């Protein structure tokens, strides 16, 4: 019903953001009269080639480690991005027997390299993987640590375990994990300024960025 041309539609549905309903359910409302109303969940389908490429290359990337965690530290919106130093602390807290893979867009490589240099661990895959290869890699991770950003939804579509850190945005917008193996971490106490927008900002509008800085590494790691 938010479309400016909705008056031309034969049928409209209410699209309210902020009441806790997931976006998937809001969109499914558009077709529920054509279905049995079973909740369909989005899925991705890496090809046999995608999986083979990831499996073959990940053996070398793991450097002898039997398992790995995956971190996607970047976001298009800086206020949706857990600070760089926090990701470094998280990596330092992870078991040494697990390899750490960092994924993202090619433009996230500098961030990945800084995190690896500061933590002394990690493999930068930001320039190595296609989207469906990233999806296949996420599926095999012990845990995927992400922001409120695209990798969160890739993990949900792969039914992969995911820990999503919400900074300036809130889960009530309806863009959180979809599966039972997903968890959300956010600042425990409410802030008058949070959420400061649906999509985020280039910088904290009030200057303190407490919504991100007050999220303890231990709460993400646990």
The average pLDDT across 42-60 equals 93
> Between residues 221 and 9, which one has the greater pLDDT?
221
Q: Given this model, what pLDDT does residue 3 score?
A: 82
pLDDT above 90 (res 207)? yes
pTM for the structure as a whole = 0.92
Instruction: Enumerate the domain spans of the chain.
Output: 48-221
What is the β-pairing status of strands 67-72 and 144-147?
Answer: parallel
pLDDT band at 5 (very low <50, low <70, confident <90, very high): confident
Residue-wise pLDDT for 125-150, tens only, equals 999 999 999 999 999 999 999 999 99
The CA distance from 27 to 117, in Å, is: 42
Q: How far is residue 69's CA from residue 57's CA, in Å, rounded to a whole number? A: 16
At 105, is the pLDDT very low, low, confident or very high (cuts 50, 70, 90)? very high
CATH number of 48-221: 3.40.50.2000
Average pLDDT for the chain: 95
Query: Is residue 217's pLDDT more than 90?
Result: yes
């Amino acid at each position: 019903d938010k479309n400016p041309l909705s008056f031309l539609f034969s049928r409209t549905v209410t699209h309210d953001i902020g009441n806790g309903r997931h976006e998937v359910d809001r969109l499914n409302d558009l077709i529920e009269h054509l279905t049995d109303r079973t909740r369909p969940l989005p899925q991705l389908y890496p090809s046999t080639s995608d999986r083979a490429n990831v499996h073959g290359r990940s053996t070398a990337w793991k450097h002898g480690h039997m398992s790995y965690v995956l971190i996607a530290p970047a976001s298009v919106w800086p206020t949706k991005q857990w600070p760089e130093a926090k990701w470094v602390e998280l990596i330092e807290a992870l078991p040494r027997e697990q390899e750490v893979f960092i994924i993202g867009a090619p433009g996230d490589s500098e961030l990945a390299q800084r995190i690896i240099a500061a933590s002394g661990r990690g493999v930068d895959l930001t320039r190595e993987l296609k989207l469906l290869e990233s999806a296949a890699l996420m599926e095999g991770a012990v845990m995927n640590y992400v922001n409120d950003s695209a990798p969160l939804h890739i993990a949900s579509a792969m039914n992969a375990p995911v820990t999503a850190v919400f900074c300036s945005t809130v889960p009530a917008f309806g863009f959180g994990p979809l599966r039972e193996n997903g968890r959300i971490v956010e600042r425990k106490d409410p802030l008058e300024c949070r959420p400061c927008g649906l999509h985020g900002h280039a910088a904290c509008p009030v200057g303190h960025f407490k919504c991100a800085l007050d999220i303890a590494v231990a709460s993400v790691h646990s």
